[in-house]
């Protein structure tokens, strides 16, 4: 079962696929619908392995150089190429007190907005 994802990736290649049924093994619950694979699952197998190795190495490019026997620029170029295939995910961060006060000081927000943000 561990290599099923690799076989699925080999079979589908660059073709977009849609999953129509998901079953949870332990509870036997099945959900039917139309599910797109997550972006990492749509990568070619070799890129998936590369990203897993990068995560396992805690993002150490030096470790990636040793693991794959490639140079620093090659690791960076490959990471850049892979990252370009992903859409940016917008993440809202909670503003810090200092950030809110700075925005207020620069006139970017009103006093009422600052109070509201500080009380969140």
What is the Cα–Cα distance from 51 to 53, expressed in whole angstroms?
A: 5
Question: What per-residue confidence (pLDDT) applies to 92?
Answer: 66
Q: What is the DSSP letter of 100?
A: H
What is the Cα–Cα distance from 84 to 77, expressed in whole angstroms?
A: 11
Question: What per-residue confidence (pLDDT) applies to 65?
Answer: 96
Low-confidence ranges of the chain (pLDDT < 70): 1-3, 5, 14, 89-93
Question: What per-residue confidence (pLDDT) applies to 40?
Answer: 86
What is the Cα–Cα distance from 58 to 89, expressed in whole angstroms?
A: 21
Question: What per-residue confidence (pLDDT) applies to 61?
Answer: 94
Question: What per-residue confidence (pLDDT) applies to 68?
Answer: 96
Show the domains of the chain with their CATH numbers: 12-84 (1.10.10)
């Amino acid at each position: 079962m561990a290599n099923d994802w690799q076989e699925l990736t080999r079979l589908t290649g660059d073709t977009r696929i849609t999953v129509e049924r998901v079953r949870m093994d332990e509870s036997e619950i099945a959900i039917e619908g139309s599910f797109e694979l997550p972006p990492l699952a749509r990568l070619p197998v070799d890129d998936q392995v590369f990203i897993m190795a990068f995560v396992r190495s805690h993002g150490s490019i030096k470790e990636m150089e040793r693991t794959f026997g490639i140079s620093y620029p090659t690791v960076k170029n490959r990471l850049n190429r892979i990252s370009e295939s992903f859409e940016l995910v917008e993440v809202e961060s909670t503003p810090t007190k200092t950030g809110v006060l700075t925005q207020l000081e620069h006139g970017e927000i009103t006093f009422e907005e600052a109070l509201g943000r500080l009380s969140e």
